[in-house]
């Protein structure tokens, strides 16, 4: 009986050892997919308008989260890491953890600060993904829906001169083919808001600008550059005029997808 108990105990110990060994082999064989190494991964942050960037290699990690003023300090002191094979997470040396949820050819899904973040290896893919997630439609679809407002207030050269020489405060939005930022799409919504409160808002297609008209506008305010690139930029250009003068101008830049700073139609 005693020998039988010893035999059973030995068998049980062997089973435990084999189980532990199996688990060790199972988890020790799991490593980070090397496809994510030595690439810049981007996530457009629609709250700030900047791109979070993530770079990982076999020993180090660089994770930057820019804000309107500086780089976020949350991950500033994170330099190295070890890979926790058990829960598929990157444990950083700054007491932070990033869990890898999924790795695809062009993006990675990560759990960071209890939120799912999708990083892309392309800037355009990242902002398009965030835009469609936020608005439920693509940037192209958004522009098509808002196109009517822009066309409703579109003016030609003669009307432009008439407006800037009038006694009223007027806003003229210039958008050209170099206007590629997301703000170019979001400005259409801003113009809708302006139209709902005043008639003195207009849109001019930069493609219709000519040298003579550019020089004319320069005479109204010498800070308005005598250069088509002043108007044809990555951001919409807004010019405010009154009594034959350009009294102010600025680029329309939202905070990520938040354009509420421009909703009040103030001159």
**Would you state the pLDDT for residue 29?**
38
C-alpha distance from residue 3 to each of 13, 17, 247 (Å): 15, 21, 102
- Strands of 237-242's sheet in order across: 201-205, 170-175, 237-242, 245-251
- In the chain, the largest separation of any two C-alpha atoms, in whole Å, equals 111
Q: What is the pLDDT of residues 159-187, one digit of tens each?
A: 999 999 999 999 999 999 999 999 999 99
Q: How far apart are CA 255 and CA 240, in angstroms?
A: 22
Query: Are 236 and 252 contacting, i.e. CB atoms less than 8 angstroms apart?
Result: yes
**Would you state the pLDDT for residue 22?**
47
C-alpha distance from residue 133 to each of 7, 50, 128, 138, 247 (Å): 62, 17, 8, 9, 39
Q: How far apart are CA 147 and CA 65, in angstroms?
A: 33
List, in sequence order, every residue forming a beta bridge with 37; answer none if it has no partner.
56
Positions in the chain short of pLDDT 70: 1-12, 14-31, 69-73, 267
List, in sequence order, every residue forming a beta bridge with 44; answer none if it has no partner.
51
**Would you state the pLDDT for residue 253?**
95
**Would you state the pLDDT for residue 149?**
86
pTM of this structure: 0.81
**For a pLDDT cut of 70, what percent of the chain falls above it?**
86
Q: How far apart are CA 238 and CA 133, in angstroms?
A: 29
């Amino acid at each position: 009986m005693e020998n039988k108990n010893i035999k059973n105990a030995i068998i049980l110990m062997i089973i435990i050892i084999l189980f532990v060994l199996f688990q060790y082999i199972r988890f020790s064989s799991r490593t980070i997919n090397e496809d994510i190494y030595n690439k810049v991964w981007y996530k457009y942050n629609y709250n700030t308008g900047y791109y979070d960037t993530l770079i990982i290699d076999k020993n180090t990690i660089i994770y930057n989260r820019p804000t309107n003023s500086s780089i976020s300090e949350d991950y500033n002191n994170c330099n190295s890491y070890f890979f926790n094979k058990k829960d598929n997470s990157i444990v950083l040396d700054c007491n932070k953890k990033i869990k890898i949820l999924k790795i695809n050819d062009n993006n990675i899904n990560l759990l960071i600060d209890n939120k799912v973040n999708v990083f892309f290896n392309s800037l355009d893919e990242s902002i398009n993904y965030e835009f469609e997630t936020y608005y439920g439609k693509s940037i192209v679809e958004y522009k098509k829906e808002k196109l009517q407002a822009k066309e409703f207030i579109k003016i030609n050269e003669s009307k432009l001169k008439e407006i800037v020489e009038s006694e009223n405060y007027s806003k003229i939005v210039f958008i050209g083919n170099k206007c590629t930022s997301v703000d170019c799409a979001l400005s259409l919504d801003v113009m809708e808001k302006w139209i709902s409160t005043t008639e003195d808002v207009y849109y001019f297609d930069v493609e219709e600008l000519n040298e003579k008209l550019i020089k004319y506008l320069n005479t109204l305010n010498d800070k308005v550059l005598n250069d088509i690139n002043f108007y044809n930029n990555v951001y919409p250009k807004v010019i405010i005029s009154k009594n034959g003068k350009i009294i102010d101008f600025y680029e329309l830049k939202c905070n990520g997808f938040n354009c509420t700073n421009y909703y009040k139609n103030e001159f």
